[in-house]
Copies of this chain bind each other. A is one copy, B any other.
Amino acid sequence: MKVLIIGGDGYCGWATALHLSSKGYEVAILDSYVRRLWDLQLGVSTLTPIAQLEQRVDRWKGLSGKDIPVFVCDITQYEALISSLRRFPPDAIVHFGEQRSAPYSMISRDHAVMTQVNNVVGTLNILYALKEEFPDCHLVKLGTMGEYGTPNIDIEEGYITIEHNGRKDTLPYPKQPGSMYHLSKVHDSHNIHFACRVWGLRATDLNQGVVYGVLTDETGMDEVLINRLDYDGVFGTALNRFCIQAAVGHPLTVYGKGGQTRGFLDIRDTVRCVELAIAHPAEPGQFRVLNQFTEQFSVEQLALLVQKAAAAMGLKVEVNYLENPRVELEEHYFNAKNTKLLDLGLQPHYLSDSLLDSLLNFALKYKDRVDVKQILPRVKWKG
């Protein structure tokens, strides 16, 4: 079974490509390297010294015997996309190929427009390519739990059954995204839903929570296979960022009161969730939505867990409550469903002391690469 990983040079994409390759899928990677360009433009870099993609796949071939062809392509260019697909006709496409940082999308008008155009046009191009030439291909699209915002009712998986004035219907779950990036994912979801409804395409939208961790069975096999790990104020996400802050003795940066609650998951579960989605594809015409996280935490809870794990290793770290650069509720109800992937067979890796130990030790190993000037948030949602 041929699986094309779009954005396969990125954090989730690279881990997923190797995992699926090791599981016997015929994998190819399509990437434009623009994620590496953004690091250069922002003057930031991953904690880990990541190799170039060609080196990575060469080493993987040496270790596993498996080929991963690489297509260097920007999916906003339709002709380049369709010609790549013709050379590697996929049974499934895993689409990680979007600008994925909320702060990046909020830097300026240019960044907001670029994020929305890049993400929306890339996904539209994939949908048209599937409609025209690969109508049975299963699109597995990375969405985000952030599409839902923080409603005062339980968050269901993509749809909600509403009774209203004596009638009933099951409708797309209302969306209240919190950044120009999250908005782009909502736009994608509506576009993909339309393509399934009207053209009969099959798609799974994985509304993923915040991913943490760095090693998977495959990326841990060799330093050339090492995955990226972002800690900067633009691309770094909560738990990973906290562990790196602890390793360099920087106070943990909680935004506002820290009561913001979100869904989280280990990157080892990300790769497994994608595998489960591919192995159990959506039906033709179905727009399936799966909430992809394993546990809920508030940001403050995470900071305190990291502080405690660090203390056990002899590292003393403070927790700093910064003025929140975002506009978001800091105390709110949050209860999101996540049973569909469990029903497909996911066995979660829960956040544990041992995971925090290994993440902290990993961060300590590379701490000399940290540029502390990049840690604090510089992008404000307002003003």
Contacts and interface: CB of A to CB of B under 8 A. Distances in A.
Contact of A165 (B121, B153, B173, B178): B153
A344 interface: no
Contact of A190 (B124, B173, B175, B197): B175
Interface stretch (A20-28, A57-65, A110-118): A110-118
Interface in A178-211: 178-180, 183, 186-187, 190-191, 193-194, 197-199
A125 B153 contact: no
Contacts of A220: none
Given A113-B124, A162-B160, A172-B176, A167 B154 contact: yes
Given A153-B162, A172-B175, A177-B190, 11 more contacts: A112-B128, A117-B121, A153-B163, A153-B167, A153-B171, A154-B165, A167-B333, A172-B174, A176-B197, A183-B190, A186-B190
A78 B174 CA distance: 30
Interface string A154-172: 1000001011110111011
Contacts of A121: 113, 116-117
29 contacts: A78-B109, A109-B124, A109-B125, A109-B128, A112-B124, A113-B121, A116-B187, A117-B117, A152-B168, A153-B163, A153-B167, A153-B169, A153-B171, A154-B165, A154-B167, A160-B164, A162-B162, A172-B176, A174-B174, A175-B190, A176-B197, A177-B190, A177-B194, A180-B191, A183-B187, A183-B190, A183-B194, A197-B327, A198-B381
Question: How many copies altogether?
Answer: 2
Interface residues of A, number: 47
A345 interface: no
A32 to B, nearest CB: 17
Contacts of A163: 153
A119 to B, nearest CB: 11
Nearest to A112: B124
A120 interface: yes
A242 B119 CA distance: 40
A382 interface: yes
Contacts of A112: 124, 128
